[in-house]
Chain A
Amino acid sequence: MSPSRTRLVRYYALLPVLGAYLVLFLIGNGQPDMWQLVAMLAFYCALGQAFNLFLGMTGYVDFGYVAFAGVGTYGMAISISHLSAVEGIGGWAIVIGLLLGTTMATLLSLAVGAVALRLRGAYFAIATIGVNEGLRYFVEGARIWNGSDGIIFSRDLRLIFGREAATALSTFWADVLVLLIAALAGVVTLLFMRSKIGYALTALRADEDAAKVMGVNVTKYKIMAFITSAVFAGLLGATAWALKLTYVYPPDVFEIHYTVEAIVIVMLGGVGTLLGPLVGGLVYGLSKYWLAVTLPGFQLLIFAPLLLVIVVLFPEGLVGVLKKKIGNRPLGKFIV
């Protein structure tokens, strides 16, 4: 029998992913002036890894994806700004914030999924575009969560942790959490691939009607992937945006630009692969950083045609191409 590509994916396939995140951490930790770059790369990898759980696994493009990160950000902001004055809660406010953020993302994904996941392909994409913008104007217009004034909670953080720890939290620990989220999303991706869920998603991504005939409850599995992906977006918002910036404004978090970046990262790296979001996140993050230095303002002008080239020439992304090239060699078993 020929190689491992059709076997059940092994756990050691996680090694390159987890190893890469560890190396990122060590580089940033050893070189303090590199930390900002590492934090940005971690954010893009985590964003890709989280979005891949839905876009990559199901083939559905959710243009409203960033809304889940947006409500996650609000979850953390609400928790900290309301609990900072409560005696005895202290650092638990962050745990509660993470829980609240993921709960809000879950509820939103259930609401959106229940309606939009009945649609297919382009119809789904169009239906979700409105979610993000709609939510932003709803928050501003209905003046919930402080409306367009946003929530600024840097003072609350200092109240809970003291000045120094609060600074360490937003300049260091928030980014470490983002790296952990990226790693965790990678682990969940592998667990999906190894389980019935992964096989159901493979089937429905290729041919939804045929999958139903084979007994796959496609709605159930689509919603599972959708919620899982949304939870990770919520966590990402609660850490990379809320804890790091210590404020939240509706137009900052409900910004479709991030969804587009997530799509580019997943497509560039390789849709539905484990390594894809990592590779895509690193390549996208580094080239964005490099372009910002060398050709400031031209990033989008370069990324837009780049995305076109990827979709047309390498629809399977960098990792997909790599898999084809060396999938049969011993190293290939790490390319998943």
Chain B
Amino acid sequence: MVEPLLRAENLTKRFGGLVAVKDVSFTIAEGDLFAVVGPNGAGKTTLFNLINGVLLPDEGRIFFNGKDITRLPVYRRAPLGIGRTFQIPRPFGVASVRENVAIGALFGRAAEKVSVVEALAIADEYIDRVGLQAHGDKPSIALTPVERKLMEIARALAMKPRLLLLDEAMAGMNPKDIDELVNFLKRIKDEGVAIIALVEHIMRAVAGLAERVMVMHQGSVLTDTTTEAALTHPKVVEVYLGKAPG
């Protein structure tokens, strides 16, 4: 059997009495496009924080490329090839967009081999690809919220990740922007990058983007199946819309 890129086994995370993530298991293969869907408070972001080490799980284990990374420090996961964006973008303040993206290249998977000059060139490449070429010299805090999201995607891609974690990347975007981003992410996937996208309620994005969807509710996995099957799953409909009367 080929070892999957990411394997989560029985992950559980508690905050006091609250179980934010309850016994969650799943696997991701190289080049997968995987959406994690669920209403606010379902435990999606906590799950991301477990995968990239911002939080440590109380139970369960995480394997990346066959290696146990359950307790690996956060900063050592980026060089393995785990890139991430944040739900509320976290640009590096007064540094320009170009410098922000270059930081991704400098400390990501190719960190050892990339010089500062090369990192700035890589930054230009990805700034171009996400369509921010007009803003490269702006301080990152001068960007609009949507531009910040795109900058974070460029920064994460400059890390040359094997797995890209996108936290609500499409929130706040208009349908046209969403379609553009979906197409862009599909191209990224074709280049061999596995993507996990957290989505609260933009079904347009989920339906267009992911082949596989995992629906979470109150910390647990409701279903992990194909996108089509997930969106018509009676329990999923119930979580989002409530029980049908009668």
Interface centre among A5, A203, A207, A214, by most chain B C-beta atoms within 10 angstroms, is A214
Using CB atoms and an 8 Å cutoff, list the residues of chain B in contact with chain A. Answer: 52, 54, 73-79, 84, 86, 90-99, 102-104, 106-108, 111, 116-117, 119-120, 136-137, 155, 159
A212 at the interface (CB under 8 A from B): yes
**A6 in contact with B137 (CB, 8 Å):** yes
21 contacts between A and B (CB under 8 A): A2-B137, A6-B136, A7-B120, A196-B107, A199-B103, A199-B106, A199-B116, A202-B92, A205-B93, A206-B95, A207-B90, A207-B92, A210-B90, A213-B52, A213-B84, A214-B104, A214-B108, A215-B77, A215-B79, A215-B159, A216-B75
**B95 in contact with A210 (CB, 8 Å):** no
A312 at the interface (CB under 8 A from B): no
CA of A207 to CA of B152, assembled, Å:
14
A121 at the interface (CB under 8 A from B): no
**A8 in contact with B116 (CB, 8 Å):** yes
**B136 in contact with A203 (CB, 8 Å):** no
**A210 in contact with B92 (CB, 8 Å):** yes
**B92 in contact with A216 (CB, 8 Å):** no
Contacts of B111 on A, CB cut-off 8 Å?
215
**A202 in contact with B99 (CB, 8 Å):** yes
A3 at the interface (CB under 8 A from B): yes
**B interface footprint on A1-13 (CB within 8 Å = 1, 0 otherwise):** 1110111100000
Contacts of B99 on A, CB cut-off 8 Å?
6, 199, 202
**B interface footprint on A172-207 (CB within 8 Å = 1, 0 otherwise):** 000000000000000000000011100110110111
CA of A214 to CA of B77, assembled, Å:
9
Give the dominant DSSP class at A's interface. Answer: helix
**A206 in contact with B120 (CB, 8 Å):** no
**A215 in contact with B92 (CB, 8 Å):** no
Known: A1-B137, A5-B137, A196-B116. A214 touches B93 (CB 8 A): no
Return the chain A residue nearest B90 by Cβ: A210
**A6 in contact with B52 (CB, 8 Å):** no
A218 at the interface (CB under 8 A from B): yes
CA of A203 to CA of B119, assembled, Å:
14
**B137 in contact with A200 (CB, 8 Å):** no
**A203 in contact with B103 (CB, 8 Å):** yes
Using CB atoms and an 8 Å cutoff, list the residues of chain A in contact with chain B. Answer: 1-3, 5-8, 194-196, 199-200, 202-203, 205-207, 209-218, 316
Known: A6-B137, A8-B120, A200-B107. A214 touches B78 (CB 8 A): yes
CA of A81 to CA of B77, assembled, Å:
52
Contacts of A212 on B, CB cut-off 8 Å?
54, 73-75
* Known A202-B95, A215-B78; further 13 A-B contacts with Cβ < 8 A: A1-B136, A2-B137, A3-B137, A5-B137, A6-B136, A196-B116, A199-B116, A200-B106, A209-B54, A212-B54, A213-B74, A214-B78, A215-B108
CA of A216 to CA of B95, assembled, Å:
16
**A5 in contact with B96 (CB, 8 Å):** yes
CA of A144 to CA of B174, assembled, Å:
70
Chain A nearest CB from B166 CB (Å) reads 13
Contact among A1, A216, A316 with B107 in the assembled complex (CB-CB below 8 Å): A216
Contacts of B96 on A, CB cut-off 8 Å?
5-6
Chain A nearest CB from B136 CB (Å) reads 7
CA of A194 to CA of B108, assembled, Å:
18
**B106 in contact with A196 (CB, 8 Å):** yes
Return the chain A residue nearest B92 by Cβ: A206
CA of A217 to CA of B79, assembled, Å:
11
Chain A nearest CB from B57 CB (Å) reads 17
The 4 closest A-B pairs by CB, nearest first: A215-B78, A215-B107, A206-B93, A6-B96
Chain A nearest CB from B237 CB (Å) reads 35
CA of A3 to CA of B137, assembled, Å:
8
CA of A227 to CA of B108, assembled, Å:
25
CA of A7 to CA of B121, assembled, Å:
10
Chain A nearest CB from B129 CB (Å) reads 17
Return the chain B residue nearest A216 by Cβ: B107
CA of A216 to CA of B102, assembled, Å:
12
Chain B nearest CB from A275 CB (Å) reads 16
Interface centre among A5, A205, A209, A210, by most chain B C-beta atoms within 10 angstroms, is A210
Return the chain B residue nearest A328 by Cβ: B137
Interface centre among B95, B104, B107, by most chain A C-beta atoms within 10 angstroms, is B107
Chain A nearest CB from B219 CB (Å) reads 23
Return the chain B residue nearest A6 by Cβ: B96
Contacts of A8 on B, CB cut-off 8 Å?
116-117, 120
Known: A206-B93, A210-B86. A199 touches B78 (CB 8 A): no
CA of A205 to CA of B102, assembled, Å:
16
Known: A213-B84, A214-B159, A215-B108. A199 touches B102 (CB 8 A): yes
Contacts of B75 on A, CB cut-off 8 Å?
211-213, 215-218
